[in-house]
Structures are given as C-alpha cells and as structure tokens.
Amino acid sequence: MRGVVVAGTASGVGKTVTTLAVCRALEREGYAVQPAKAGPDFIDPSHHAAVTGKPSRTLDPWLEGDDGMRRTYARGEGDICVVEGMMGLYDGDTSTARVAALLDLPVVLVADARAGMQSVAATAYGFRTYADRMGIDADVAGVIASRAHGGRHAEGIRDALPEELPYLGRIPPSDDLEIPERHLGLHLGDEAPLSDEALDAAADGVRADALAEVAREPEWDTEEFEAGIRAEPVQATNSDGPTVAVARDEAFCFVYPSTLERLESLGTVSYFSPVGGDDLPDCDGVYLPGGYPERFAADLASSPTLPALADRAADGLPVFGECGGLMALSESLTTTDGDTHEMAGILPADVTMQERYQALDHVELRATDGTLTADAGETLRGHEFHYSSADPATDARFAFDVKRGTGIDGREGLTEYRTLGTYAHVHPESGAFDRFVSRLTD
C-alpha cells in the first residue's frame, strides 16, 4: 500500500482539515483511502473515520515499537494510506518526521499561507533541508498551502516553490472549515463533522493526481509485517477464547481499532452501552475504554451497568478500565460544575474534573506485582491525557511504578479484587491485551 504523511509546520496550521480534504479528493478520483494518525490521538481519527468510513490506524513507535508500528501500517487496506501528523513536523521525542522516516513515506507539508506567499515557499524549503541537520531521513516531497486564496495568492506560492517541492494544492480560508474545540482536543467526528459542502470545496483545491504520484510504497517488506501482532504473543488458554464485554458509547469512545481487532482475534467481544442503560453482558471479563464519562456522569450514575459491575467485580470478574474507564470504576465523579455523581465504587478513589489538563505525555510503567495487563517486573508503554484528578484512599493499592509520566502521585494502576484502572492508554502491540485475555481463563 502506498502512503503519504500530511505534516504541519506547526500545530494549528490546519493539518486535520487538510488531511480530510486530501482523503476526500483522493476518493473522488477513485482511490481507496486508508486513514491513519501519527501519535496516540483519538480525536483526529474519529474525523478520518467519519469522512472515509474506515477506522483510522494509530502509528506511534513509542506505543507500538518500530516493528509494531510497521505491522499496524501493513494491516491497513487501501490504495493509499493518508497519515495525519502530530504537532509540527520535527516536534517531540517521537516526531512526525521520525514516524515518516521509519515507515519510509514521503511528507506533504501543510504551511499556513494566511499572511505569506513567497515566504511560504521559503518555509517549506527550510523544512525540507532541515531533515539533514536533524539526521532524520524525512523526505518533504510536496506542499499544500493552508488558508490560501486562489488566483494571484495561490500562483505566487506555486511559482516560488523549487522544482523538487511540487505544489499540491491549497485549502481555502473558510469559517466552515473550522472544527470546534473542547477539552481533550477537537470535537469527535460524529459530533461536529465538517459539512459535505465545505469538505468538497476544500477537496476541490487539492491536486489529487499529483498527490497520488508523490505517495509511494515503503521499501521495507510490508507482507513480512502483515501477520501477527508480536513475535511471541501471549495466547488465551481457552482454545475457543473467552468473552470480553467492551463498553462502546459516547462515554467510552477512545479505543484504538487495533485493540478491538486483537480482542476479537483472541475471543468473543460483546459490546454494550453503559450510557444507554444496557445490562452487563454474560462475559469472562470487561474492558472499559477511555472517553468522556464526565459528560454523561448522571446517565452513568443511574445506569444498571455500574451496580452490576460492582457486584461482578466483587465476585472476582476481571475488569480493566483505561482513563474514562478508571473514572467510572471509582467511588465518585465530580464535574467542573461541582456536581458529584456516584460511580461503580470498585476502586477506592474520588475523581474530580479540573479546568486544566492534569497530564499529557507518553508514559512508561513498571509492574510491581502481577496484574491484569503485565507480569511483575514487566514494563508497559502507553499514553496519558486527562483533565481529571484522582484522590485515592490512603490504603489504595497500585499495580505500577511510573518510570515516565504522571500517573496518580507517581504511581499507576489502582487495583481492587481483579479490577485494574489506569490513566494510561496502552496499545495491543505492548502485549497488554494478550495478557488481559490470558488472565480471563486463569
């Protein structure tokens, strides 16, 4: 599968809108598009899925390892994979430039052209040559001008670009192409999607055929990486595979497609909606992904799901909650309006929403004892981004020490019975979900 990375000169230059316009333009030319996102984000992929109708792949070498990231890419399906970058091209420990280099994909640079013309070309040329200074094999192979008018403005940018940096189009300035923001990022794709009319207008400015020519097949052997998730996966002991109940609704919407694929490959997945008042399905274990439980705290408090979870957890049912899942498993959840709602009461902590984010980083955790997702001494890598704070009881037990990140006062993984709640999100390439499923038949 050919691919291209859509990267920005900085955050806020319009990468997401440009990515969506590129996807739409390529699809209109008859290409099957596989969307993807560099980094651990959940929000941008929801927009990709809303536009393309396909789950967006998460490509992050910290979460997945270099080979794991390549495996995730190789399992995509389509003619062209469009990868949206994160922050500016060279920003961060795990930069978009590094992701592009590891995947051997060309970079299409998105440059904000609101107040420039020839200077846009100069900026793009600088980004292309800076790769050598950084020692990163990042190939900046084309430019899309964001928030650029047509006519003389677009022509000035195009004519100023050197031959090795082709002009691949423009995204017009338009209020209809602004995606509203909320804490934890932009609104989800199914909440505030761009209108078809606005997206079509943006796609009109993309030179789809020229962009398709820039996209290329990686030189590494994708077929070698398509099968399997790890070199030595931990398999469930039950040959038929256990049943995992997975919460899926507006409160529990932050989940990597690879996670669901892995759980489905290891057993049976039964989806349910706590916000919708579903009963807890018959299952061998429960997974509560992250999301926005604070927005639906009243619905969760009145749902039969949380009391059922509390009863089953006390009886020894394995339950794994990540971020929003941890919040739902706690004693209580207090919103920024000061309203306190009772949660499942399994984990001994009270959670309070804050006005400012409390953690944002890649994390590394070391298991102090054997737990649902790791053996004692094992290290897991993940990602944390949350606006809530947890106040644990003085006798609360934790499963992990934090080697990198914030966690909960330098610790992570509240645990009670066979229930584990973490602020960290992990990817299945870490082996955490293999380990979780294997525990369900212990």
Q: Rounded to an integer, what distance in angstroms lies between the CA atom of residue 408 and that of residue 422?
A: 9
Characterize the bridge pairing of strands 349-353 and 57-59.
unpaired
Specify the residue for token string 């709640």.
421
* Cβ atoms within 10 Å of 227's Cβ, excluding its own: 9
- The CA distances from residue 208 to 108, 158, 168, 248, 249, in Å, are 12, 16, 8, 35, 35
Ranges for all domains in the chain classified under CATH 3.40.50.880 = 235-439
What is the strand order of the sheet 167-171 is part of?
A: 57-59, 33-38, 80-88, 2-8, 107-112, 140-146, 167-171
pLDDT tens track, the chain, 442 positions: 999 999 999 999 999 999 999 999 999 999 999 999 999 999 899 999 999 999 999 999 999 999 999 999 999 999 999 999 999 999 998 999 999 999 999 999 999 999 889 999 999 999 999 998 888 999 999 999 999 999 999 999 999 999 999 999 999 998 889 876 544 444 454 555 688 999 999 999 999 999 999 999 999 876 666 555 443 444 444 447 899 999 999 999 999 999 999 999 999 999 999 999 999 999 999 999 999 999 999 999 999 999 999 999 999 999 999 999 999 999 999 999 999 999 999 999 999 999 998 989 999 999 999 999 999 999 999 999 999 999 999 999 999 999 999 999 889 999 999 999 999 999 999 999 999 999 998 7
Provide the whole-model pTM: 0.92
Task: Give yes or no: 283 in active site.
Answer: no
Kindly name the residue from 23, 253, 283, 323 that is annotated as catalytic: 323
Specify the residue for token string 């996102």.
37
Judged on CB neighbours under 10 Å (0-12, 13-18, 19+), 181 is: exposed
Q: Rounded to an integer, what distance in angstroms lies between the CA atom of residue 72 and that of residue 57?
A: 7
Q: Which of 214, 267, 252 is nearest to 100 (CA)?
A: 214
Ranges for all domains in the chain classified under CATH 3.40.50.300 = 2-224
Q: Rounded to an integer, what distance in angstroms lies between the CA atom of residue 250 and that of residue 117?
A: 43
Give yes or no for a contact between 87 and 10, defined as CB atoms under 8 angstroms apart: yes
2-224: CATH number: 3.40.50.300
Specify the residue for token string 């949206």.
84
Structure tokens at 239: 């040959």
Specify the residue for token string 């992929």.
45
> 3-state SS of the chain: helix, strand, coil percent to 5?
30, 30, 40
Q: Rounded to an integer, what distance in angstroms lies between the CA atom of residue 107 and that of residue 98?
A: 11
Fold adopted by 235-439: Rossmann fold (3.40.50)
